[in-house]
A = this chain, B = another copy of it.
Amino acid sequence: MITIFAPDGIPEVVAGDNLGEIISSNCELENHDAVVVTSKIVSKAEGRVVHLDPNDDSAFEKLVLSEAKRVLRRRGKLLITETFHGFICANSGIDQSNVDEGCAVLLPKDPDLSARRIHKQLLARTGLTLGVIISDTFGRTWRKGVTDVALGCAGIAGILDLRGTRDSRGRTLVATEIAVADEIAAAAELAKPKAAGTPVVIVRGLHTELFRRASIAKEIVRHPSEDLFR
């Protein structure tokens, strides 16, 4: 059985905060918990908040372009970009909700590294086997609505590779690289009170074999050469 819950009492995060400290002191963690952390508080802790020039109407778009490797599509004010990380998302993942007026939050520079940092901080404080996932909310190409996905991870799989395992009839399964980190991020979103900006969610009861060294950049980000639609 899997249980998912959002710990109360996580304070407003500011630059320089130790997120492992904040999380472990607000939540009784257990072995094999996955700790899902919204990228926004990671960015805030890492100082990835910028002030937009109020006299420049195109300040936001310039910022989006400065975080982009390229623009895939443009529709009105919405740019679909490939970020320097290789993520494809709206406006390079830059967000202006739950932040001071006139400010914008950039994605963490290296979300896998952010996850590893929090993972190390949690390990030092708890001694537990944990996974850390940095999540954000992305749209999808062919389906309406947004879902939470994993931008970075540490101590927990990006992909669960079932290639070579057999189905209930003993036939080898194909196409079975399950993006578990994205499923965990999506599951965590369901436990958030609506629009409350809940920054941390715990997912408990996952298969223990998911807990290993891992990277979203290496396991989930699709290289343009393998891409059928870019």
Residues of chain A at the chain B interface (Cβ within 8 Å): 1-5, 72-73, 75, 80, 87-88, 90, 96-101, 137, 139-149, 158-160, 162, 165-169, 171, 173-180, 182-184, 186-187, 189-191, 194-197, 203, 206-207, 219-222, 226-230
Contacts and interface: CB of A to CB of B under 8 A. Distances in A.
Given A144-B222, A167-B97, A197-B168, A1 B191 contact: yes
Contacts of A99: 169
A92 to B, nearest CB: 14
B168 A219 contact: no
Contacts of A145: 158-159, 177-180, 182, 219-220
A101 B58 CA distance: 60
B2 A147 contact: no
Contact of A173 (B97, B101, B149): B97
Given A2-B4, A145-B177, 13 more contacts: A2-B3, A4-B4, A72-B229, A97-B167, A137-B178, A140-B141, A141-B229, A143-B221, A147-B179, A162-B194, A168-B196, A168-B197, A183-B190
